[in-house]
Amino acid sequence: MADKTDQISVAGKKGRKAKESGLHVLQVCWKAKEESGLTLRWIRLAIQMGAQELNLTYIDHYVHYKTSAFSFEILSGLLPSKLKHLRLQNCSIAPLAKVSDHHQINVLHSLETLELDNYVQFEVFADFYTYKLKKASSVCSKATYFEYKSTNPKTKLCFSNVPELEEMLLNLQLGNRKVDDMFTDFATDAPQLKRLMSLHTTLDLKLEPRIHVTSTILCQLEQLELVLGSWRYCNLLKMIHILVSCPLLQKLHLIASGRPTNVPDMPYPSNKHPFPSLKEVQIRTFYATSSEIPFVFYMLENVVALEQMILDTTPKSCRNCKIKHLSHQLPNQRIRAKVASPTAKLVFQHHSNERIDFAKIFMR
């Protein structure tokens, strides 16, 4: 912050006026049950005066933790601002209401840094509609669930203390974040993380995945769901490198739209990996192409605890369509492969008006 920065500190009803020349920093400490109206007016006024940094702290959050939630909706109606840094301490972030693009909170478009310190009692951790956010850091000793949205490919996340984090949902909407980058972007101090879902990611299959086998996050995962932008360039055999890094993984779901194109050829892997914890693998939408079939056979022939290999030909956009969905199971003894798991079943899911001739590929 520049030397000439003006600053206001507010504790309860005490404060001092900003100089008429403008305001760069506002620091507010207040009680969740008291003076909330006054506090919100201070926040809005500071932004209107050109504040570049806001530091907001609930001082009685342990008593009133259920009401100590900060809502970005209090900033609605304000013009785009100069706000670059926002620090929230001792509270949670209330989920935003569903709004159209025309009514999103423009005041946050200049935000570069969001710091979340000592959060308590959450279900939905964060839902950001920002366009220029460069860094988000968090010290959240009580957080169990984290949800993150970003339209900026340069945004970086940094966790410093999330010992109870169990589930994470990432919505990286530009679709240019690589799966391996997604993992290595995060610190490795979330020992309880078990479920990870990533939307709008891509697999860069021209390169070997740069994943550390010893990464704490990967080693703890029990469920991984990747919603890919498309199957383009994707040879699913590359997923084996990622699965090796997840020894406790029980469920793997791969979801994408669009038939695979420009898929690089790969030899069938000679190395065998038993994946002793993996019980369910699902691919949707399944097109039975040369980039998918070898991966299915590799899973059947190597996963020793596999219970279901689900090949779903329905598009991901038809969850609520009126066409009847059918499901067929192919038991272990009828699968055209040396199946590693005695309990494995190959499951075909499809629309009632759709032929699944490709199923013959897997049948004895």
Per-residue pLDDT of the chain (364 residues; tens, 9 = 90+): 333 334 444 433 333 444 444 567 878 776 655 556 777 788 888 888 888 888 888 776 555 545 567 777 777 767 767 888 888 777 666 665 555 444 455 556 677 776 766 654 333 344 444 445 666 666 666 667 777 766 666 666 666 667 777 888 777 665 555 666 656 556 556 778 899 888 776 665 555 555 443 466 777 899 999 887 666 667 788 889 889 888 999 999 998 877 777 777 788 999 999 999 999 999 998 999 888 999 999 999 999 999 999 999 988 766 667 788 899 999 989 999 999 999 999 999 999 888 899 999 999 8
Domain interval for residue 45: 1-164
List of long-range contacts for 95-104, beta carbons under 8 Å, 24+ apart: 95/124, 95/127, 96/71, 96/72, 96/127, 96/129, 97/73, 103/76, 104/129
pTM listed for this prediction: 0.69
Q: How many domains does the chain have?
A: 1
Other beta carbons within 10 angstroms of residue 123's beta carbon come to 9
Structural domain includes residue 92:
yes
Structural domain includes residue 307:
no
Phi then psi for residue 75, to 5 deg, are -95, 0
Structural domain includes residue 142:
yes
Structural domain includes residue 178:
no
Q: Could you tell me which residues are beta bridge partners of residue 326?
A: 350
> What tokens appear for 271 in the block?
């190395």
Structural domain includes residue 42:
yes
Structural domain includes residue 111:
yes
Structural domain includes residue 145:
yes
Can you tell me which residue has the tokens 């065998």? 272
Structural domain includes residue 279:
no
Whether residue 166 contacts residue 192, with contact meaning beta carbons closer than 8 Å, is answered with yes
Cα–Cα distance, 96 to 124 (Å, whole number) = 10
State the burial class of residue 134 (Cβ atoms within 10 Å of its Cβ: 0-12, 13-18, 19+): middle
Helix (H) or strand (E) holding 244: helix 239-244
Question: ∠ at Cα 142 (137, 145), nearest 5°?
Answer: 70
> If we measure between CA atoms, which residue out of 152, 28, 174, 16 comes closest to residue 90?
28
